[in-house]
Amino acid sequence: MANDASNRLGTYLRDRRTRLDPAAFGLAGGRRRTPGLRREEVASRANISPTWYTWLEQGRGGAPSPDVLDRIAKGLMLTEPEREHLYMLGLGRPPEARYQPVEGITPRLQRVLDGMILSPAIIKTAMWDVVGWNRAATALLTDYAQLPFEQRNILRLMFTNGRGRSLNEDWDSVARFVVGAFRADMVRAGAQGSVEAAGLVEELNRLSPEFAALWQDHDVTAHSEGVKRIHHPEAGLVNLEFSSFAVEGRPELGMIVYNPATPEDAAKVHALVKAKEK
């Protein structure tokens, strides 16, 4: 099995290498027996031994380290999906996520949110900043567009904003769940040691004794699905079932969709959305 994996890795490397145009790298074209870059040119770009790179293409180089795979990915100018595929072939697992600060989403992703008329939905970062939302989320959860960017953070809304406390029917349980899920997202996104993450935690520890106590518990929670009960000032109690989804190709983003639990809850959301449109 290991030899099969090595052979698949070698085949993939050869395929990517032969697709590259030498002229794009400032290399002389001239007469080349095969298309693309030469092995030693890729090895030079990746700063690894030409012999070892040759062995990798021949399926006899052994398991490369993540650092080597990253250098090869850069040398071959792989896209993020191609880099992930390289990891799966070389190590049997995807690479650690690369956290990147995000301030918005693509129009196509926004249209996905807008297509869910009666299901409040948001897009959040690993730092739990809300960077995308639909009309139902505005009507039921928070009008994020009216908030400064730095205040569109779920943890800040939960622990430093009175509306966040009054909106959630069982605030204590929700707060514990959110902190545990946030901790898991930080690690998953590779942002545990980032200045941004440390700054947010420091801020919340200073402003909220409740957050500080929960953070010290070191709980980790899976944020896959569950039930949320919203106490809306106009609609009253609204029961929702939520599901979380990864955004393909954007490991720093996650989508949360809240579906009304009953027809009565759906009618309340519908009324709120209609009232917001007036």
Checking if the pLDDT of 192 tops 50, the result is: no
Q: What is the pLDDT of residue 99?
A: 62
Question: How much is the average pLDDT of 24-51?
Answer: 85
Checking if the pLDDT of 152 tops 90, the result is: yes
Q: What is the pLDDT of residue 194?
A: 65
Structure-block tokens of residue 204: 């919340």
Which residues have a Cβ under 8 Å from the Cβ of 151 and sit 6 or more positions away? Answer: 157, 161
Structure-block tokens of residue 124: 């959040």
Q: Is 226 in a helix, a strand, or coil?
A: strand
C-alpha distance from residue 199 to each of 102, 193, 195, 202, 251 (Å)? 16, 10, 6, 5, 21
* Residue 100's pLDDT band (cuts 50, 70, 90): low
- Percent of the chain scoring above 70 in pLDDT: 94
Question: How much is the average pLDDT of 209-214?
Answer: 95
Q: What is the pLDDT of residue 101?
A: 65
Contact criterion met (CB below 8 Å) for 277 and 135: yes
Checking if the pLDDT of 32 tops 70, the result is: yes
Q: Which domains does the chain have, with CATH numbers?
A: 2-91 (1.10.260.40), 107-277 (3.30.450.180)
Checking if the pLDDT of 1 tops 50, the result is: no
Question: How much is the average pLDDT of 150-175?
Answer: 91
258/242 Cα distance (integer angstroms): 4
Instruction: At 118, give phi and psi (nearest 5°).
Output: -105, 5
Checking if the pLDDT of 214 tops 60, the result is: yes
Compare 118 and 162 and report the one with higher pLDDT.
118
Q: What is the DSSP secondary structure assignment for residue 65, as one 8-state letter? A: P
Task: Single out the residue of 99, 72, 74, 275 nearest to residue 200, CA to CA.
Answer: 99
- Percent of the chain scoring above 90 in pLDDT: 58
Predicted structure pTM score: 0.72
49/68 Cα distance (integer angstroms): 11
